[in-house]
């Protein structure tokens, strides 16, 4: 499906707190499906993230440039606090990309895809299975391991590992 701008736009939403190698794996797949990918970073007033929205954008941008080189110019960043399907509509996205690690993710994401399709039938949800080498990575576990002094270097890009170390020193 192509939007009125003549190009395929995908929206990839998440908290990205912090961005992990798993997130980059899904983002790589999204770049293969669309001309432009909007990374929508969840900002919720009731939650206090480890990294601010601005820090997450900067870290995503740096990790994306390192991972995708010139292809990173096809990625834009925004925040969202309401319905992700409304954010997709705002950017004229025709695809919403969701990463899947396991059957638990699949069950939850199928419910969300059904609800989103009920609200906006023109926006298609696309599931991308995580590559086996990153399937087990979650941002929550990365934060916990880093907070306990563990080595997260195999789970996150180098810039994110450095940012975690600096953040946790404060």
N- to C-terminal Cα separation, the chain = 47
Bridge-based pairing of strands 95-100 and 9-14 is parallel
So where are the chain's domains? 9-135
pLDDT band at 170 (very low <50, low <70, confident <90, very high): low
Radius of gyration for the alpha carbons in the chain, expressed in angstroms and rounded: 16
Nearest to 128 by CA among 145, 149, 151, 105: 105
Which of 4-18, 96-110, 150-164 is predicted least confidently?
4-18
| Residue 45: per-residue pLDDT | 79
Which CA distances in Å does 77 have to 1, 40, 73, 80, 130? Answer: 22, 6, 11, 10, 21
- Rounded CA gap, 169 and 162, in Å? 11
Q: In terms of C-beta density within 10 A (0-12 exposed, 13-18 middle, 19 or more buried), how is residue 47 classed?
A: exposed
Average pLDDT, the chain: 94
pLDDT band at 165 (very low <50, low <70, confident <90, very high): very high
Contact (Cβ atoms closer than 8 angstroms) between residue 89 and residue 123: yes
The token duo for 155 is 């789970």
pLDDT tens readout for residues 27-68:
999 999 999 999 999 998 788 999 999 999 999 999 999 999
| Residue 37: per-residue pLDDT | 98
Contact residues for 5 (Cβ-Cβ < 8 A; gap 6+) = 92
Residue 3 has pLDDT above 70, yes or no: no
Residue 2 has pLDDT above 70, yes or no: no
Mean pLDDT over 151-158 rounds to 97
Return the higher-pLDDT residue of 138 and 4.
Answer: 138
Q: Is the dihedral of CA 29, 30, 31, 34 positive or negative?
A: positive
Contact residues for 99 (Cβ-Cβ < 8 A; gap 6+) = 22, 23, 25, 26, 29, 105, 127, 128, 129, 130
Residue 79 has pLDDT above 60, yes or no: yes
Q: Quick check: pTM over 0.95?
A: no
CATH architecture of the domain with range 9-135: 3-Layer(aba) Sandwich (3.40)
| Residue 7: per-residue pLDDT | 86
Return the higher-pLDDT residue of 150 and 2.
Answer: 150
Residue 127 has pLDDT above 90, yes or no: yes
């Amino acid at each position: 499906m192509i939007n009125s701008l003549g190009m395929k736009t995908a929206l990839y939403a998440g908290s990205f707190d912090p961005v992990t190698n798993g997130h980059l794996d899904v983002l790589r797949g999204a770049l293969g499906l669309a001309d432009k990918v909007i990374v929508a970073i969840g900002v919720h007033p009731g939650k206090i993230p480890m990294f601010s929205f601005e820090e997450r954008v900067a870290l995503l941008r740096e990790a994306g440039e390192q991972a995708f080189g010139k292809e990173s110019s096809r990625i834009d960043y925004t925040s969202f606090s309401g319905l992700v399907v409304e954010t997709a509509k705002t950017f004229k996205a025709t695809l919403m990309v969701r990463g899947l690690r396991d059957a638990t993710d699949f069950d939850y994401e199928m419910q969300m895809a059904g609800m989103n399709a009920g609200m906006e039938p023109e926006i298609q949800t696309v599931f991308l299975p995580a590559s086996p080498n990153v399937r087990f990575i979650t941002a929550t576990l990365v934060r916990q391991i880093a907070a306990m002094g563990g080595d997260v270097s195999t789970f996150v890009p180098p810039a994110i590992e450095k940012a975690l170390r600096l953040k946790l020193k404060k």
